[in-house]
Every structure is written in C-alpha cells, then in structure tokens.
Structure 1
Amino acid sequence: MNPDDPFIQSEGAARRHGSGALCMSNVTSVDFNDAAKDAGSGAVRSEIQTALRKGRGGGKRKSAPNGGDTAARVHYQLNETGVHYVGVTEDGEQAEPVFICSPLKVEAKTRNSQSEEWGRLLTWTDADGHPHQWAAPAEMLVGDPRDFVRQLAAGGVEMASHRNTMQRLLAYIMQERVDERARNVGVPGWHDGRYVLPNGQSFGDGQERLVYQHSGGLQHHYAAVGSLDDWRREVGRRCQDNSRLLLAVSAMFAGPLMHFTGATGGGFHLVGGSSSGKSTALRVAASVVGPPEYGREWRSTANGLEGVAVLHNDATLILDELAQIDPKQAGDAAYLLANGNGKSRANRSGEARAAARWRVLILSAGEVGLAQHMAEVGKQARAGQAVRLADVPAEIEGGHGVFERLHDAADGAGLSALLKDAAARTYGAPWPLWMSYLTQQDSPTLTAKLRQATDRFLADFVPDDASGEVRRVAERFAIVAFAGELASASPHRLTGWPKGEATRGVAACFQAWLQRRGGSGSADTDALFSRVRAFFEAHGDSRLEPMRLIDGALPVRDRAGFRRFDEVGITEYLVLQEAFIRELCTGFDARSAARTLAEAGWLKRSADGRPSQAVRISGLGTVRLYVFDSRKVHESGL
C-alpha cells in the first residue's frame, strides 16, 4: 500500500492513538478462526492467512504457555482510542496492539426487506466531534475496496500509514460479530409510516431500525446549528409580510406532504433580475433543513439530476441559476424531475436494472423563465412543462425586489444581507421537530385535512372557468399554503407566524403567477392562437396570394394560401392544407388545433361541419382549404 495514497492518513494518527496507552475497557474483538474461512475479499483473506501463519510459527501451530491456540489470539480491539490489530509474536506471545484507525463501530448488519443487498452500519465521530453514520453496501468490501476506504477517510476516520492498514480495516468490518440488524431502503423518504433521511437518521416508530444504504459520497447537508428560538427570531419573523419568502419557507415544509397527495412532483421557479433577492429566498428556505449548501444548482447533466432527485425523495429540492443548464435539456430536465422516473439502464451482465423513482417538490430561481430559456435555442415550451415548473415573478411591484416589508433593514439589499447572515448562523432546527410531528399523525386524517384545505384554496383563489392546467398548479400552491399553516400551528409553533400568514403569502404568489401567465385559460391553446396570429402578421402579404387582381401587388413566392376581399378589405385567409399542418400547427396536433380554432370562431367550418372547405381556385381547380376569419384573427383579447 502506498503511504501517500490520499485515503491513508499520516503516521501522526498512529502516534496520537498510540498503543502504549491502550485502554482495554470496552474492547471488542474479531477472531481470525472464522475470518479465514468467511472473508469475501482476496486481499483480506491473504492478510488473515498471513496472520495465521505468523501465529503458527510459519505453518506449525504453536501452543501458548497456558496451552491455548495462538491463532485464536489474533484479533482486533475497539476502544476509545481507536481500532487496533492484535497479532502474535514468533514465540507465540501476544504482540503489542497496532493502531489501524480512529474509533469506528459496526453497529448492525443491514439488508433489505427481501434479505438481500447486505451491508454494514458504521458509526464514528470526526476530529471536530461531529457524529457520522454510514450504511455501507457489503459489495464495496470485496474486489477493489479503495473507494470504500476513501469514503471513510473523507468522513473523518483517521488511519495509520502501515501497508496492511486497508486489509486489516476491511477484515475488522467484515468479521466484527454483531447481532443487531437494520433494514436498508433504496431511497430516503417515507417507508411504512416512517421517514428516513439520507444521513441514516429516521423518524417514527417501528419494530426494526431503518437506514438509507448507499455507496458514499453523498452531500445531503442535513444539519442543525442553533435553537428553534434562534431560527424563528433571526429568520422566521423576517419572512412575515414577504410573500416570496413565505412561499419559499412553506415549500420546504410541503416536500414531505407530497407523499399524501398521490400527485407527481413539480415546483416553483422564481424569475427575476440580478440582485433582486431570489437567491436569498432560496437560502432562507434551505435554513429550514440545513446550511446554505443544502441548495444545489441547475448546472448538471440529466444523469446527475437523477441522483440529486433520489437524494431528495419526499422532500424539497432547491435549484438555483436555471440559465446554467443547457437550454436544449432544460425542458426535459423539468419533465424528469417532476415526473419522478429515471432512465432504464442495464447492469454489467446486460440485465435491466430497476429505474430510479422519486417524488420531489422543486424550488428554483433564475433570471429567465423556462420557456424563455428554451426559446434561446428555438425550442417551444409546452403546457406540461409550464405546469410542472410554475414561473413566479420574484420582484414585487412597488416593493424592494423580493421583499414587501423591510422589517429592521434600511433597504432591500440590507434585508438580504441580514437574512443571508442569519441563514448561515442558525439553521436546521425546525426540520427534526417537523418530521417528528408528521410521523406522529394519523395518515388518513392528515390526508383528509390536506384535501379540505386544497378545496378551500381553489374555491377562494381560482377562477371558476380556469383550465385544468391552472387548477393543477393551484393545487400545488394550496399544498404549500397548508404546509406553512400546519407548521405554524404545530405544538412547537415552528415558524412563529400568525394564523393565515402562510396562506396570504402563497395566494399572492399564485395571483402573480396567474397574471404573468396571461390568464386562466389553457396554455397550449393560447400558444396556438399566438402562433397562428404571428404567421398571418408576418406573411399575410408575402405568402398569401390575392384572389382578385390588386394593382401594385408583389408576386407571391412559397405560396401558403390566398386572401379573399370584400368592399372593405381582407375578410378571409385561405390556407393550403400542407401549410396549415407544417407551419401554422408546428408543435401541435393538426386535428386538435383545427377543432380548437373552429370552436373559437377563427376557422369557418364547411356546411358539413368539417374544419376545412372545398374552394374552387383558378389554375388549381377545387381544393380543400382552411378558411380563417381575418377579423377574428387580429382582434384583441385572445
């Protein structure tokens, strides 16, 4: 083993945990008799066999002075100074313990509900006194185990620089005798009424301990610094009367509630200029759960977003700077995150692996909206994408960026600075209290309350003639409002807000989204009308041939149809079928588009009710054309 390998610590660790002062209390041992038979790793087996040979004096089994077997005396010790290897001398005497690593305990053996995917639940404390827990897959202990050891080192486990350190450490973990069992789960979130965090912590009661087992390297950033009183005073109270902050914080509490709705994921995207305070809103939201690092950025590949989404299953995913993701992938990324279905992949043997699944609530921010970002590369955002990620204007009209009320600050920049500083100093206290509260609730009762609150929100704030798309987004706003109210009314009064505060703030954000959207109709219908009107405005004279001679009229190239006149002016646009399908209806189903246009009065139906008419054209004979009422096309209000 190379002493300079980054996952091996300096000899200073061994000196700091010197074996000479070894305390023999609270010692656990690993016997090599069974280890030699059961070790799964060739490297570990070799180390065990070498130790046995040394213990037997080069192959001949020696007896200890007391008549015992020297091989049985080869073992490991764990105490407050660390894990130590205890071998035997050539004379069969017990050797001085050799430091391997700082204290590392094997708490339990883990496996899933099918008694597969076994692993080890490891716990330790780093040099700063922070506790760590890792449910490590057993498959990482065989083959090349260097990634496994690197993960321990990255988590603060200090190791000796001896060339046999890695083999001895693996032998200790694999062969430690532990009767405790824990059940591992494939994703964090809700499982049988309990809630599991990525760091292995779980909430709720059950017969068996639940842990999230993974290959390490996770940046989950679930942590708490400061008390709940600190957070309410420094962060929570400054959110009052600030609708965007109320939305952001309530969205964090709403993440676990998506499980009770049965709905797919989706989220909100705060759109605003630079220095408007939208990133501050995301930091304030993150402080409900952990430090500012809890938030992520859109800058990632689709595969990378999959991993992040799994890590935030049944929680709220914060993503900043939408413009950083490739605009060609932005729409697909929105679908991917909201729908909760990963790509199907094959394992090394070519067999299909189970696709990743998740349900997340998204809280995003950026200087451009999703549709605008996609338009940079000529892509058109569909209604489904807009529904999954609702663009909420970050800046308040007549306000101070994202703020309506400055509280104890002189201006918006001052309040932003105060909030960023507060969110970096006190965070995470509300989260364990929130999850403890939710896991104590009766699920059917909680689901019924959520449904009732959603119905009230829709009745109070959604127009009666709203499209299905608008109602779907409104339901998501309603869930967030309910979460904010429930957190405020919970026994710990988590937010410190008065009753109705979360609802007022979230409703204001919903109204801002509706206004930015342009109304409560169907987004696809509006987009179709806009495209058809734009076509005639751009090409009415250049590509539509007049049906009667007009003095000074320019010749028509790339003809798309005709113009028909009366005494006053143009009355109808007559569009050839291929031009209608390929140009006016690009991105839409042509039959559905024709039906929608006819129902709106833009298209004139034939006598038999068809959306196209048979018209006799000089030089072409009788052809079927789509006849548009030009006055309807150009009138305002659609």
Structure 2
Amino acid sequence: MSDLLEIEDVAEVATETEVAEVSGVQASSGAGSSATPAENHGVAEVANTGFPALEQRPCWRVFDDWQEADGRKFRPGVWHFGIKQKGDNPPQMLDTWVSSPVHIDAVTADTHGGNFGRLLRIKTTLGHWRTWAMPQAMLRGSGDDLRGELLGMGVEISPRNRQSFGEYLQQPAPKQRVTCALEVGWAGKVFVLPDASIGPGAASVIFQSGEGGTAEYATGGTLKAWINTVAAPARNNPMLMLALSVAFTGPLLAKCSAEGGGVHLVGDSSTGKTTAAEAARSVWGPERYKRTWKATANGLEGAAALFNDNLLVLDEISEADPRDVGMIAYMLGNGTGKQRASRTGTARTVTRWRTIVLSTGERTLATSMMEAGQRAKSGQAVRLLDVPVQRQHGAWDDLHGLSDGRAFSDAIKTAASQHYGHAGREFLERLTRDPQDFGAALDVFKSLPEFSPDGGEGQDKRAAARFAMIAMAGELATEYGLTAWGEGAATQAAAEAFTLWRLARGSGNGERRQIVEQLAAFVSRHGDARFNDIAATHNLPVRDRAGWWKDEGDGRSYLFTAEGMREALRGFDFKAALDSLEAQGVIPAAGADGKRTRFHRVNGRAVRLYPVDGSKLEGC
C-alpha cells in the first residue's frame, strides 16, 4: 500500500471560488469527484461518491478537501485507486496521491475543429480556484513543460508519481465542449481576454494558451478611482486625452475593417510622454502590460499577438536596434508575422493580428532609421504617426492645481500604478452590446472638417482616418461613462494631434525634409570623428574621412568628399537628393561646368568637395 496514504492533518486554508463562467461547468461542492475508464465518459460528477470498492478499480477520484475512510485520512487532490495482485494471493488495493485538486471539466477545440485541449479547474496552494484551458499538445513527450506551467499556477504534483499525472489528464474525455480562442481579441461577437470572455455567449468561449499567466491583463484598484485620478486630469490636456483615446481604439479596428498602425509621441527627455503611455496602458492592465522597443522583432511579433484587437504600448524607440525599426513598423501595421518552417520543414501558420500602437521616443521613426543608414518610406511613416508633445509644461497644458509638470506626471503615474484594467473591461462590456454600425459611425467622423484635409494626398488621408478612429474611440468611452470628459473633447484632442502631425511632417510627401534630416544626422554622428578643420596647417589622420569643415563669418560649412556625400545620402537616389538639397539651399547650385562640387585646397592640392551650409542643418 502506498506510503502516501497516511497523512497528518493540517489547518485548512480558506478558499475562494474563482471559476470562469463556462456553460455547463461548475465548481465542486468540496467533497470529491470521480471518473473511471470503464463507466464514466462524461463530466466528473460533482458529488461525494465515497471510496471505490475493489470491483470499481482502477479509477480516479478528485477530493477538494480532506477525506477520512476506515480510520485513514486522505489529503485533497487527485488520487489513483488501483489494485495489485500476485499469483493466487488476494488483490491488494493501491491508493496513490498524484496531485492537488485538478478537475477536467470540458474538452476545448477551435471553431475549425482543431487545437484540442482540456479545460482544467485547479485549486492553488493558497486554496483559490482558477481555470486553465490546456493545449492537449502539451501532453507530448515527457510532459515537463505542462507540469512546469501547472506548478507555476499553484498545483502541487507528486515527484514520485508525476508520470501518473499525465495519464490522469488523458482519461476519457468529458462530454462538455467549449470553443477555444488561441489569441486575445474578437471571437465572433465575444471579446476574449486571457482570464475572461466578454459579450453575448461569452460562457462558451475561452482563451487557450500554453502559458497560464494572465498578469498583463490583471486588474487593480477601482474603476471609479481610475476615472477620477487618471481620466479626469486629461481634461484640457490634449496629449493625455489622445493617449487614453488610443487605448480604447484597438477593439474598434475589426468592427470598422480598419488597418492597424499607431501614434508615436515624440519629445525631449522628461516631458511626460512615458507618463501618457503609462496612463494608456492602465486602461487594460498593470505596469507589465507596457512593452519596450528594446525587444527583438520576434518578441514584438509575439507581443502583438498577445495584444491582438487591442493596444500595444512601446516605450522609448531609441532602445531599439535602428536596423530593425523600419521592419517592426511594417510588421505592426501589416498585422503579419514572418513565415517560419516547422520541425518537419513544412510552413507554419503565419501569426496575424490587428493592433493599435502607442509608441514614445525622443526621435522620430525616420531619424531612428537614419542611424542605420536607412530611409523611412512613406508606408512606414504613415503606420506610426509622429506627434510632437512639447506643450506649456512638458507634455501638459493644465496641471490641475499641481506645482509643475513633473508633479503632474508623478500623480498620473502613481494613480495608474494603483488603478488599472477596469476601464478596458467595462468598455468591452458596453461595446459588445452596442448595436450601432461602427463602420458608418467612423465615416461620420472621417467626414468632419477636422479630418478632411484640403488637397490632402494619400498619406494625409490615411493619417486623417486613423485620428478620426481615435476620436471615435474617445467619444465612445465618454458616452459609456468612462472618462469624465465633455462631449467632443476627444475629437478636439485627436484633431489637434492630426494638425501637429501635418506640421511636423511638412508639405509634400516629406521626402525633402527626410533628406535634410538624414544629412544632419550624419554630421551630428560623425562631425568630430570624420571631419576636421580644412584650415589646419597639420591635419591629423582621419579614419574613413567624410570631409572637412570650415568656419566663416556666418557659421560653419561642411565640405563633403564625393564618397562621404554618397554615404550620407544612402537610401535616396543620389542625383535626386542633390537636386532637393540645392532647391532647399543646403548646397549651392551647379556651376558653369554643371557640377555642384567646388575646388578647395587641401594640403597644397585642389580637391573637389560638396559645400553644405551648416545653418540649414540646425534644428533637424
């Protein structure tokens, strides 16, 4: 007989029932449940069935509390009741404790009849109940990954009998069926979060993942306090109101058949742009909801899937590898990951998502790409719209009685760390029951004069459509009672952001400005290392020289070698870029010989160099 049978009594831990609403599945009454391979092919009975007789073995039982039989005590958990017989000797009953309470309540599968799993209801070490839709594929091999996840969720598993645990999970499937969703976001009319499904019919859909953690979407504090301390201070603060409106936009993308993309808040250090991002993420979860640009492209692909149909917050673009920035912007906007091969060499299913991005940084997308010698194409720039956040007090206009911008930022950060997650869920509760045609509603916002630029080109129209959707999201949140803003305030904030984007972008398609910015970035990065004074009598050796500089009465000019100028303008058509620089007065017009270079004497010899007016690069 197993030596695990005799257990000393211990003090019970108070339990709280935390079982997700699933049709036909209920929490145990506390006694036990049973299932045998021969006689029970449905959901384990929620009743005290007692201990199995000899003829009922082998079988499984799950006890939610301590049990006593024949003077022996059985600890809560999954028990295997078996028999052992040698020769003609009477059979011996073997009673083996396998794990703490784990019930198999339903079979899960996606809408296509694949990705099968088991809906588990577990009792944690602290006595709390929780559910997890376990992918059945985790039972392959040794099952170490599966046991690791369950151990992390608070399940206790006998090291001696851990292989029996996998056998228990593969007993005949219960009759109850539940639809599983493999990603956060819309599943029909239901919005699926890692720990909850919201909307009509939510009880029949559950999130299924190989990871049991749901910390990104946790809740804290109260909705009322969040409205008073995070949302209300956005009144008269367009940048904070914009960020919060962006946070509510993600769930509307699918309803309006809109493309993904985002807004990039650009400003100097300590202006408050990160505070705006913290406020936005508090709509959906705690501090760990926010991501950073430092993550690799592969990591961002996984993050985008986790925040599908929702908000993805990326802080500080300068932390990203400049070589990856453009690709990441494309990936996030297109909603498509990389094509990868499986272990057998066949193509895996490509990850897809829809997400709205709120990004921050001291540099624009284009400037970040310039550091890697890349040029931001129009398709990349319009996926992440640069919005400058320099206001009266950093990113703020109205301090609501606080002493300065830093104090206001600190107050918002503190409030967002205490109250989070409730506003997003309440928004979904209202949105999933709102019968209006959201595509038609968006058309109304897009037709407003604020979002209908005269003579706007394709990029302007795409940007206007995104800001119109952000405005609609903010107005919906206000209508649902989640902001304490006045009607029209969110529209005004989004319209102001659109204006700021257009001003920062400049006229035309922005390429002329990008050429000057790239040239300025090259000088800023290499001015001291690859240039020196052309008037110096003894020029020190310069590695990979790009040119010289010359101080004159009206400022400094940079004299580029042909190779240096080509490197600085890498990514642009060289002749077209020179034409643009000439048109903007950065380099002189071509001489009588048709060339833009001028002869300069260097160490006693004449050298053709491109003169660049340094004053034209200031402020870029």
Q: In structure 1, the residue corresponding to 2:170 is in which secondary structure?
A: helix
Partner of 1:507: 495
Q: Does 1:437 align with 2:427?
A: no
Equivalence for 1:308:
303
Corresponding residue number in structure 2 for 1:84: 78
Work out whether residues 257 and 439 of structure 2, in 8 Å CA contact, stay in contact via their aligned partners in 1: no
State the AA in 2 paired with 1:379. Q
Structure 1 match to 2:409: 416
Match of 1:140 among 114, 138, 141: 138
Q: 1:468 aligns with which of 445, 458, 470?
A: 458
CA gap 1:16/1:180 in 2 versus in 1, 3 angstroms? farther
Query: Among the aligned pairs, what percent are the same residue?
Result: 36
Contact 2:453–2:461 (Cα < 8 Å) also in 1: no
Report the equivalent of 1:112. 110
Cα displacement string for residues 73-103 of structure 1 (whole angstroms, at most 9, x for unaligned residues): 532223246423142465546555x544333
Counterpart of 1:163 in structure 2: which amino acid?
Answer: R
2:182 maps to which residue?
186
Paired residue for 2:399, among 398, 403, 406? 406
Which of residues 160, 166, 169 is equivalent to 1:170? 166
Report Cα offsets for 1:501-524 as digits up to 9, x if no partner.
Answer: 11122222222222222x242123
Contact 1:14 1:99 in 2 (8 A): no
Distance in 2 between the 1:280 and 1:532 partners?
Answer: 32
Closer, same or farther in 2 for the Cα pair 1:24/1:506, shift >3 Å? closer
Alignment match of 2:571 (pick from 583, 587, 590) = 587
Shift of 1:301: 1.5
Would you say 1:449 and 2:449 are equivalent positions? no
Output the CA distance in 1 between the equivalents of 2:356 and 2:227: 23
1:156 Cα offset (Å): 2.2
Contact 2:475 2:490 in 1 (8 A): yes
How many angstroms apart in 2 are the aligned matches of 1:102 and 1:261? 46
Question: Following superposition of structure 1 onto structure 2, how do residues 176-255 of structure 1 map, counting pairs within 5 Å?
Answer: 177-199=173-195, 201-206=196-201, 209-216=204-211, 221-255=216-250
Residues 537-585 of structure 1, C-alpha deviation per residue, up to 9 Å, x if partnerless?
xxxxxxxxxxxxxxxxxxxxxxxxxxxxxxxxxxxxxxxxx99x98998
* Alpha carbons of structure 1 residues 324 and 446: separation in structure 2 relative to 1, 3 Å: same
- Alignment correspondent of 1:342: 337
Change in CA separation of 1:264 and 1:137 when aligned onto 2, cut-off 3 Å: same
Distance 2:193 2:37 in 1: 36
Q: TM-score, normalised by structure 1?
A: 0.72
Q: Per-residue CA shift, 1:258-289, capped at 9, x if unaligned?
A: 11332321111112222222221111111111
| Structure 2 contact 290–315 (Cα < 8 Å) conserved | yes
Structure 2 counterpart of 1:101, from 99, 102, 107: 99
Q: Which piece of structure 1 moves more, 112-121 or 170-179?
A: 170-179
User: Which structure has the larger Rg?
Assistant: 1
Aligned 8 A contact 1:33 1:72 in 2: no
**Matched AA of 2:408:** L
Q: Aligned partners of 1:592, 1:320: CA distance in 2, in Å?
A: 35
Counterpart AA for 1:435 = L
Query: CA separation of 1:309/1:161 partners in 2, compared to 1, >3 Å: closer, same or farther?
Result: same
Structure 1 residue identity aligned to 2:81: G
Q: CA deviation at 1:349?
A: 1.4
CA distance in 2, matches of 1:207, 1:126: 25
Cα pair 2:256 2:438 within 8 Å, conserved:
no
**Distance in 2 between residues matched to 1:162 and 1:75, nearest whole Å:** 18
SS in 2 for 1:123: strand
Could you tell me whether the CA contact under 8 Å between 2:80 and 2:98 is conserved in 1?
Answer: no
CA distance in 2, matches of 1:119, 1:13: 36
Matched with 1:63 is none
What does residue 428 of structure 1 align with? Answer: 421
Alpha-carbon distance between aligned partners in 2 of 1:304 and 1:380, rounded to the nearest angstrom: 24
Stretch of structure 1 that moved more, 359-368 or 174-183: 174-183
Name the amino acid aligned to 2:478: S
Indicate how the Cα distance of structure 1 residues 93 and 585 shifts in structure 2: closer, same or farther if over 3 A, else same: closer
Contact kept, 8 Å, 2:61 with 2:80, in 1: the verdict is yes
Deviation by residue 1:325-371 (Cα, 9 ceiling, x = unmatched): 11111111111111111111111111111211111100111222222
- Pick which of 312-321 and 87-96 moved more: 87-96
Verify the 8 A CA contact 1:467 1:520 in the aligned structure 2.
Answer: no
Alpha-carbon distance in structure 1 between the residues aligned to 2:63 and 2:400: 54
Q: Output the amino acid matched with 2:102.
A: L
Aligned to 2:511, which of 524, 529, 553?
Answer: 524
Rounded Cα–Cα distance in structure 2 between residues aligned with 1:379 and 1:449: 39
Residue range with higher mean Cα deviation, 138-147 or 123-132: 123-132
Cα displacement (A) at 1:406: 1.0
Which residue type is aligned with residue 84 of structure 1? V
Take 2:8 and 2:427, find their aligned partners in 1: how far apart are those partners? 40
Going from structure 1 to structure 2, the CA distance change for 1:130 and 1:478 (only over 3 Å counts) comes to farther
Q: Distance in 2 between matches of 1:265 and 1:595?
A: 35
Contact 1:231 1:427 in 2 (8 A): yes
1:554 aligns with none
| Structure 2 Cα separation of the partners of residues 24 and 130 of structure 1 | 14
Q: Which amino acid in structure 2 is aligned with residue 587 of structure 1?
A: G
Structure 1 stretch displaced more, 312-321 or 189-198: 189-198
Tell me the distance in 2 between the aligned counterparts of 1:516 and 1:132: 50
Instruction: Report how far residue 178 of structure 1 moved.
Output: 2.1
Quote the Cα distance in structure 1 between the aligned partners of 2:568 and 2:384.
26
Provide Cα deviations, 1:408-428, integer angstroms capped at 9, x if missing partner: 422212122211111111111
3-state secondary structure, aligned to 2:217: coil
Query: Whole-Å Cα distance in 2 between the matches of residues 523 and 495 of structure 1?
Result: 36
Report the Cα distance in structure 2 between the residues aligned to 1:533 and 1:86, rounded to whole angstroms: 73
Aligned-partner Cα distance in 1 for 2:77–2:12: 9
Q: By how many angstroms is 1:499 displaced?
A: 0.7
* SS of match in other structure, 1:460: helix
With over 3 angstroms needed to count, the CA separation of the structure-2 counterparts of 1:515 and 1:598, relative to structure 1, is closer
Q: For residue 360 of structure 2, what is the amino acid of its counterpart?
A: A
What SS does structure 1 have at the residue aligned with 2:32?
Answer: coil
Q: Is the partner of 2:248 in helix, strand or coil?
A: helix
Q: CA deviation at 1:527?
A: 3.7
Query: CA 1:435–1:534 in structure 2 vs 1: closer, same or farther (change >3 Å)?
Result: closer
Picking from 376, 384, 390, the partner of 2:379 is 384
- SS of residue paired to 1:113: coil
Q: How far is 1:488 from its partner?
A: 0.4
Partners of 2:62 and 2:102 within 8 A in 1: no
Q: Does 1:355 align with 2:350?
A: yes
- Residue 273 of structure 1 aligns to a residue whose secondary structure is coil
**Pairs aligned (count):** 526
Measure, in 2, the Cα distance between the counterparts of 1:131 and 1:85. Answer: 18
Q: Taking structure 1 as reference, are residues 13 and 122 closer, same or farther at Cα in structure 2, changes over 3 Å only?
A: farther
| Residue in structure 2 matching 1:369, options 357, 364, 368 | 364
Q: Specify the SS of the correspondent of 1:317.
A: strand
Give a deviation string over 1:94-139, Cα, whole Å, max 9, x none.
555x544333232310112232221112233545576543221111
Aligned residues: CA RMSD:
4.4
Matching residue of 1:538: none
SS at match of 1:316: strand
Distance between the aligned counterparts of 1:520 and 1:123, measured in 2? Answer: 59
**Equivalent pair of 2:267/2:388 in contact (CA under 8 Å):** yes
Distance 1:591 1:114, change over 3 A: farther
**By how many angstroms is 1:246 displaced?**
0.5
